[in-house]
Amino acid sequence: MAQTVCVLLDDATKLALSTIAGDRSRPLKHILRARIVLLSFERLSVQDVARQAGVSRPAVWRWQQRFAEEGVEGLLRDKTRPPGTPPHSTHTVAKVLALTCSEPPDEVTHWTGRAVAARTGISLRSVQRIWQEHRLQPHRVPTFKRFHDPAFAEKVEDVVGLYMQPPAHAVVLSIDEKSQIQALERTRPNRPLGLGHPAAQTHDDTRHGTTTLFAALDVLEGTVLGRCMQRHR
């Protein structure tokens, strides 16, 4: 048998709840709680209130009890909950940071989250959270170049200035090369994509030596001119 809870409202309280339930600018959770109490005032069963409000029966009981204890103000306030997991100590955080910034063991390139978690005795998610808070990304290794040429700044200005403001009626090309490219060819033609199977290619290939790619970027047009040459000269 469905349980029925008797909720009594005076005119002022009913008006306050109706105002909250009809105010679209309020948080949805406040509107929902006010509707639960108003539906309960109509002597509906808990099951009917839950069905019309779109919540569970424990949720109906919880907000009926909160309203009975604290009134309308209790519906607009969320009770604080104790944290589920206490934060890690400063010593543990310092240990994770020091380990991450140290040389990794054996022949690995960098510390992984699982390796740090296993070494420090905390969870992988905790390691990731500490890394995020301290902006550590051990898997990323950007490159840099240090120049000792005292005239480096002037040379950069000349090159960039040529790109940005080329002479009139001039064609500015940025040329580079890629040497020692293996010229490979599959031993059989590729199989095309079809119904029920993906495209496929052979795992082995035929070697045709190496080639050198010369490419030139037309700075003004944004087009690339490229050619492969057998000889590098």
Find, among 21, 23, 40, 22, the residue nearest to 32 by Cα.
21
Do 27 and 70 reside in the same domain of the chain? yes
Q: Given this model, what pLDDT does residue 99 score? A: 94
Q: Given this model, what pLDDT does residue 169 score? A: 86
Instruction: Round to whole Å and give the CA distance between 35 and 64.
Output: 11
Do 157 and 225 reside in the same domain of the chain? yes
Do 47 and 105 reside in the same domain of the chain? no
Per the domain annotation, does 139 fall within a domain? no
Per the domain annotation, does 142 fall within a domain? no
Do 104 and 62 reside in the same domain of the chain? no
Q: What is the pLDDT of residues 131-170, one digit of tens each?
A: 999 999 999 989 988 889 999 999 999 989 988 888 888 8
Q: What is the pLDDT of residues 178-188, one digit of tens each?
A: 988 998 999 99
Per the domain annotation, does 27 fall within a domain? yes
Q: Given this model, what pLDDT does residue 3 score? A: 56
Judge whether residue 129 has pLDDT over 90.
yes
Give the CATH number for residue 59.
Answer: 1.10.10
Please, are residues 23 and 31 in contact by the beta-carbon 8 Å criterion?
A: yes
Per the domain annotation, does 138 fall within a domain? no
- Rounded to the nearest integer, the mean pLDDT of the chain is 88
- Identify the band that residue 230 occupies on the pLDDT scale cut at 50, 70 and 90: confident
Structural domain count of the chain: 3
Do 39 and 68 reside in the same domain of the chain? yes
Q: Given this model, what pLDDT does residue 85 score? A: 67
Per the domain annotation, does 16 fall within a domain? yes
Per the domain annotation, does 5 fall within a domain? no
Please, are residues 219 and 212 in contact by the beta-carbon 8 Å criterion?
A: no
Report for 23-32, 105-114, 125-134: range of highest mean pLDDT: 125-134
Q: What is the pLDDT of residues 188-214, one digit of tens each?
A: 999 999 998 899 999 999 998 889 999
Judge whether residue 130 has pLDDT over 50.
yes
Per the domain annotation, does 169 fall within a domain? yes
Q: Given this model, what pLDDT does residue 100 score? A: 95
- Identify the band that residue 232 occupies on the pLDDT scale cut at 50, 70 and 90: low
Q: Given this model, what pLDDT does residue 146 score? A: 87
Instruction: Round to whole Å and give the CA distance between 117 and 93.
Output: 11
Per the domain annotation, does 4 fall within a domain? no
Query: What's this model's pTM, rounded to 2 decimal places?
Result: 0.43
Q: State which residues form the domain around 170.
A: 152-192+203-229
Judge whether residue 112 has pLDDT over 90.
yes
Beta bridge partners of 176: 215
- Identify the band that residue 6 occupies on the pLDDT scale cut at 50, 70 and 90: confident
Q: What is the pLDDT of residues 49-86, one digit of tens each?
A: 999 999 998 999 989 988 888 889 888 888 765 666 67
Please, are residues 33 and 57 in contact by the beta-carbon 8 Å criterion?
A: no
Q: Given this model, what pLDDT does residue 1 score? A: 39
What are φ and ψ of residue 166, in 5° steps?
A: -70, 155
Out of 30, 46, 75, a domain closes at: 75
Do 158 and 225 reside in the same domain of the chain? yes
Q: Which comes out higher in pLDDT, residue 84 or 13? A: 13
